[in-house]
Structures are given as structure tokens and as C-alpha cells.
Amino acid sequence: MSRVWNFSAGPAALPEEVLQQAAAEMLDWQGEGVGVMEMSHRGKAFTTIAQAAEADLRELLAVPENYRILFMQGGAIAHNALIPMNLMGDRKVADYVVTGAWSTKSQKEASRYATVNIAASSESSGFTTVPALSDWKLSADPAYVFTCTNETIGGVEYPFEPDLACIGRGEVPVVADMSSHILSRAIDVSKYGLIFGGAQKNIGPAGLTIVIVRDDMLGRAMPHCPSAFDYKTVADNASMYNTPPTYAIYIAGLVFQWLKRQGGVAAIEAQNVAKAKLLYDFIDASGFYQNRIDPACRSRMNVPFFLHDETHNEAFLAESSAAGLAQLKGHKAVGGMRASIYNAMPLAGVHALVDFMRDFAARKA
Ligand code: PMP
């Protein structure tokens, strides 16, 4: 067996220890005589797995008591529709802050269910930055303000938490798509009305979608919102109204345990800071590679970069792949390269990437 350094944006690398434990338990989970995929979601064994996963996630993110954690399906794209369907209530307008491809997609989808007000946008900068909170123009009575706090494609991450109390609008709930940086840094959950994200970057397999929602946001769903996607119904049934993605929840639980063994979110954040610094500092000093994002808003998770001389792109991809560095091609909307360095990517993997990039530049310069 030979594993590569996997820089995929998602589905992405998982901690090897987690995969090994899952492999060991594939046929027989802790003496049950069946694997997790073969268990009833209502049985004692799976209930134990799901409750532990939820408790560990609550502990890792210090989720307050008045928030519910939902294990759902649909991915972040489905929740772009489910969020207005669940949260509009009697209100007409939802505010969106647009910072790249994912928040653009979210606001377009929401406009099918609500009147969307673009409260702020960094489009004029080419989505290379995050508009300062003081420049957000909230509408009079929005149901919520939507943010995507890490733009996976553009490589832009909020350098601040969107705390609307700072602009005198603390009564408006903030919704955050944290798909690509959840659990990578400490956050104050109490600043948000709803946090959501697909699992396939920092948590586990695709198919599981995490929703963390404040109690008072529940019970406002539109009459035609599907029952299985009504956040209140899901919360009232402890994520078992329908059959949840059981195996994905099990793997997520193993990832949460792994993260706790690493020292939790604060410890992984310190590693993520070190990894991102190593890569960005090298890129900036190289004279061969370039990252175009406002340095204050550079993502610690997704690092897009370009070769100054793009005629070397194909060789870069072929040679990096041959050197065991996989999935470095940039998103088609951006071009160039992108290295996604989520929690499961160790510092050694980033060193391997930088060593390759230095050597490649020396050979081609
Ligand atoms: N939002 C963000 C920030 C993402 O990175 C992604 C996936 N790359 C999505 C939404 C869409 O997720 P899914 O395809 O799982 O619906």
C-alpha cells in the first residue's frame, strides 16, 4: 500500500488512524458481530455511536446548551435552499454577504424562496477579500445574514467573526457556511444563529451535513418544507426522523475522537496556522509562485496559487503527482493550482509540498 499526500479540496484526506480503526471494525463493531453499516439506526449500538459523536462535537466546538446539533443529509448545496425554507418565518428579506463562488451560489438559491439583499460583496476586488463588518448594509428587518466564512474555491477566509453586535445589529441571526473550515479554528458558536457544513473536508465522508442551530430559530419552516428537512422535526427526533447517514456519522465520530487526541480545536488551530504560514511564506518569497488574496483574508485551509509562467502548469501537475503530491490542480473557475490543507494534513505533508515546489522552481527558473 502506498498513500500519497492528498491535497484534494473535498472529499478530502482523513486521518490515517481513523481509516485504520474503521478498517479493523468493518466486519465486527466491538463484538456486535456486525459492522456499523449493517446496524439499525435505532439499535443500542448505533445510538451509542451517534450520541458520542454529538457529545464530542459539542465539546470540541464548545456548543452552548441552547443550540441543537443535527446530523442531516443533502450537503451544503441542499441547505442553501433549506435555510431560507426553515428560517424566513414571516419575514420577506434575507441578507447575504458575498465573498466568492459559494456565497454567490447560496444567494442565488435563496432568491427562489426569499427576497435577497446583498448586504456586502467583494466582487469588485475579484473576491480577494472580505468586506469589513462596518461596510455591511443590512436591511431593516432581515430574517438572517448569510456568510460563507471560508470560500473553498477562492481561498478567502474571514479574519474576524461576523459579530453583528459590533455594528449595533446583534438581534439579527448570523448564518455561516463553514463547510471547509469547521473545526479548524476556535469559534464562538454563540455569535451565530445557525452554522452548517458538509462533512467531506474536515469531518468525514460526503453525505453527512452538520447543522448547529440555536433553539429559537426552530419552528419557522415554510409549510411546503419537506418534513425530513424541517430543522425542528429533525431536532425533535434527535436526527432520527429519517434514517441518518449512519456510516458517515460513525466516521465523523472517529474523527472527533482523533481531534480530541490531538488536543482539540486550539491545538489543531496552532498546527493549521503553522502549515499555512509555511506555505504562504514560501510562495511569497519564491518569485516563481503567487497567491493573489488579501494577506489578511488568506484561507488557512485552501491555498490557491499560480505559477508566474503558466506554461509550466502541466509539468507542475505531472511532476507533483509523480512525486506523490496529489490533487493540486486549481478549481476550473480560478485556474492555476490549489493546495487544500485541512486538519488531517500533517505539517510533514506541507513540507513535502514546499520542498517539491522549491525544487521545481529551481529547475524551471
Ligand atoms: N459550500 C462550501 C464552502 C463548499 O466548499 C462546498 C463544497 N465544496 C459546498 C458549499 C457544497 O457542498 P456540497 O457539494 O456537499 O453540497
Q: What is the pLDDT of residue 244?
A: 97
Q: Say what the ipTM of the complex is.
A: 0.99
Pairing label, strands 145-148, 93-98: parallel
Q: Would you say 51 and 45 are in contact if contact means Cβ atoms under 8 Å apart? A: no
Fold of domain 264-364: Aspartate Aminotransferase, domain 1 (3.90.1150)
CB 124 within 8 A of CB 155: no
* Annotated catalytic residue within 5, 29, 95, 177: 177
Full-model pTM: 0.98
**Dist. CA 309 → ligand 1 center (Å):** 30
Pocket of ligand 1 (CB under 6 A): 10, 75-77, 102, 148, 152, 177, 179-180, 198
CA–CA separation, 141 vs 203, rounded Å? 34
102 catalytic per annotation: yes
Report, in this order, helix, strand and coil percent for the chain, each rounded to 5.
40, 15, 40
- Measured from the Cα of 10, ligand 1's closest atom is 8
Ligand 1 mutation target, pool 151, 152, 156, most atoms within 8 A of CB:
152
Shortest CA distance to 333 belongs to which of 17, 172, 101?
A: 101
Helix pair angle (246-261, 44-61), 10° resolution: 40
Residue in the block written with cell 431593516: 140
How many angstroms separate the alpha carbon of residue 179 from the centre of ligand 1? Answer: 6
Pick the CATH number of 17-261 from 3.40.640.10, 3.40.50.970, 3.20.20.70, 1.10.10.10: 3.40.640.10
* Cα–Cα distance measured from residue 105 to residue 331, given in angstroms and rounded to the nearest whole number: 15
pLDDT value of position 8: 98
Distance 77 CA to ligand 1 centre (A): 6
- pLDDT value for 140: 97
From the alpha carbon of 198, which atom of ligand 1 is closest? Answer: 15
**Which pLDDT belongs to residue 365?**
84
Q: Is 177 a catalytic residue?
A: yes
Please give the angle made by the CA atoms of 124, 129 and 130, to the nearest 5 degrees.
Answer: 100
- To the query of whether residue 258 is one of the catalytic residues in this protein, the response is no
Distance 360 CA to ligand 1 centre (A): 32
Give 309-363 pLDDT, tens digit per residue.
999 999 999 999 999 999 999 999 999 999 999 999 999 999 999 999 999 999 9
Where in the chain are the domains?
Answer: 17-261, 264-364
pLDDT at 2: 87
d(CA 106, CA 257): 31
Chunked into runs of 10 residues, the chain (365 residues) has average pLDDT values of 94 98 98 98 98 98 98 98 98 98 98 98 98 98 98 98 97 98 98 98 97 98 97 98 98 98 98 98 98 98 98 98 98 96 98 98 94
Q: Map residue 231 onto helix, strand or coil.
A: helix
Q: Identify the residue whose C-alpha is closest to ligand 1 atom 15.
A: 75
DSSP string, 58-113: HHHHT--TTEEEEEE-SHHHHHHHHHHHHH-TT--EEEEEE-SHHHHHHHHHHTTT
Mutation pick for ligand 1 pocket among 77, 106, 331 (CB with most ligand atoms within 8 Å): 77
